[in-house]
């Protein structure tokens, strides 16, 4: 039920805070984030998982689909909408989004809705979320650069977590 409630929260946040008149502008970045989530799902299914959602809503497939095609797009719409121009406000926006993401993650861990595996830990989340939000914004502004940097980041994770990819 946690996964459904979190998805519904994201939908309501997007209805209230996203600039829906600019959805076409955000759509490529939504595709970008969805692609990398599906890519993780493929790698985790075919090789090994670093984290796994527990107590799925209906099934693991449905839960992953909720996150990939509803929750993440809604969050991206909200994150990119009303993006500030002032540097101190940009910094505060990142801090706010990272802290909220980490708090949700900690709650999910404590309640048994996510499990870390194969060396992934909450410490990695402190690295992952800043990178994720920076990459979402970078993709929105400079998509080709973001794709290149994303390839390097994926390679980094494949090497650090000892995936046999060659």
Q: pLDDT grade, residue 16 (50/70/90)?
A: very high
Q: Provide the pLDDT for residue 163.
A: 85
Summarize pLDDT for 147-161 with one digit per residue, the tens. Answer: 999 999 999 998 898
The model's pLDDT over 89-124, given as tens digits with 9 standing for 90+, comes to 999 999 999 999 999 999 999 999 999 999 899 999
**pTM for the whole structure:** 0.90
Residue-averaged pLDDT of the chain: 92
Q: Residue 65: CB partners within 8 Å, gap ≥ 6?
A: none
b/e map 110-145, b = 16+ CB within 10 Å: eeebbebeeebeeebbeebbeebbebbbbbbeeeee
Contacts of 161 (CB under 8 A, 6+ apart): 48, 50, 118, 119, 120
In angstroms, the CA 107 to CA 70 distance is 20
Q: Which two tokens stand for residue 25?
A: 């502008």
Task: Give the tens place of pLDDT for each residue, 32-85.
Answer: 999 998 888 888 877 888 888 888 788 888 988 999 999 999 999 999 998 998
φ/ψ (deg, to 5) at 8: -65, -40
More confident residue, 52 or 16: 16
* Neighbouring residues of 126: CB distance < 8 A, sequence distance ≥ 6: 102
Q: What is the structure's pLDDT at 166?
A: 57
Ramachandran class of 112: left when φ > 0, alpha when ψ lies in -120 to 50, beta otherwise: left
């Amino acid at each position: 039920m946690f996964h459904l409630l979190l998805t519904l929260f994201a939908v309501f946040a997007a209805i209230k805070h996203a600039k829906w008149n600019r959805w076409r502008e955000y759509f490529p970045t939504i595709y970008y984030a969805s692609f990398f989530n599906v890519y993780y799902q493929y790698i985790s299914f075919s090789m090994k998982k670093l984290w796994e959602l527990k107590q799925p809503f209906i099934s693991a497939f449905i839960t992953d689909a909720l996150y990939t095609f509803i929750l993440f797009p809604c969050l991206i719409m909200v994150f990119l909408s009303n993006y500030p121009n002032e540097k101190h406000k940009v910094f505060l926006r990142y801090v706010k989004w990272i802290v909220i993401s980490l708090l949700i993650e900690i709650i999910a861990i404590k309640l048994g809705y996510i499990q870390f595996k194969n060396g992934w830990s909450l410490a990695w989340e402190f690295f992952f979320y800043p990178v994720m939000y920076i990459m979402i914004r970078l993709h929105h502004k400079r998509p080709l650069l973001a794709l290149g940097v994303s390839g390097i980041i994926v390679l980094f994770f494949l090497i650090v977590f000892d995936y046999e990819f060659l």
